[in-house]
Amino acid sequence: MALINYASREINSKIVFYGPGLGGKTTNIKYVYSKLNPSIKGKLISLATELDRTLFFDFLPVDLGTIKGFNTRFHLYTVPGQVFYNASRKLILKGVDGIVFVADSQIERFDENIESFDNLKDNLRAHNLLLEKVPLVLQYNKRDLPNITSVDELQKILNPRNEYLYFEAVATQGIGVFETLKEICKQVLKTLA
């Protein structure tokens, strides 16, 4: 749930990058962070665990407009990819305003995408939220690799009713990264308005 800071005239919104381990969540966040103007972004914070890490930073986009005179500051988070860290995943989803699900396109990661998407739904329910009520954008990452699942197959398992927008991406090269981010920001702003 967005937080309003009347003193700074800001609405603070939380966007969480969710998905299987090593699917590209951190790569997305780091790429965005590296390309943003230093004057509009906060510090990149990394909370490392034994096997994974959670990243966080915030930014104030100047080109997305205002809502009733308030600027919107977006706080971007990644969740640990390993299901072992489910308590952290659940905690990071608390107060979420929008989700980017980063699916790993590699054929051998197909089942992990399903498991992670089901885990997302379960963890949202723990916060009395339904996936259908939270803005969501899908990103099919690693499209440059040779052994990948087709977009049609990914759509069948993650988006069978075609209710979510999706982007093909190669996060290591920045392909599809800002398109994904811009879309989730637009969806979050629409729900806040």
| pLDDT tens per residue across span 2-52 | 888 889 888 999 999 999 999 999 999 999 999 998 888 898 888 776 666
The per-residue pLDDT for 105 is 98
Predicted TM-score (pTM) of this structure: 0.93
pLDDT at residue 59 is higher than 90: no
Per the structure block, which two tokens stand in for 30? Answer: 């780091």
Per the structure block, which two tokens stand in for 69? Answer: 């005179």
The whole-angstrom separation of Cα 120 and Cα 110 is: 16
The per-residue pLDDT for 50 is 64
pLDDT at residue 62 is higher than 70: no
Domain harbouring 30, CATH code: 3.40.50.300
Are 58 and 35 a contacting pair, CB within 8 Å?
A: no
- Averaged pLDDT for residues 49-56: 65
- Averaged pLDDT for residues 91-116: 97
How far is C-alpha 33 from the geometric centre of its chain's CA atoms?
14
User: Phi, psi at residue 61, to the nearest 5°?
Assistant: -70, 135
* Domain extent at residue 124: 3-192
Are 76 and 18 a contacting pair, CB within 8 Å?
A: no
The per-residue pLDDT for 2 is 86
Total residue length of the chain: 193
Q: How confident is the model at residue 131 (pLDDT cuts 50, 70, 90)?
A: very high
SS3 track for 126-140: HCCCCHHHCCEEEEE
Q: CA angle at residue 112 from 88 to 53, to 5 degrees? A: 35
pLDDT at residue 192 is higher than 90: no
Task: Classify residue 131 by burial, with Cβ atoms within 10 Å: 0-12, 13-18, 19+.
Answer: middle
Per the structure block, which two tokens stand in for 42? Answer: 């906060």
Q: Tell me which residue has tokens 């699917």.
A: 23
The whole-angstrom separation of Cα 164 and Cα 170 is: 19
Name the packing angle between helices 110-126 and 151-158 (round to 10°).
30
pLDDT at residue 169 is higher than 90: yes
For residue 48, count other CB atoms closer than 10 A to its CB. Answer: 10
The per-residue pLDDT for 8 is 87
Per the structure block, which two tokens stand in for 27? Answer: 């790569």
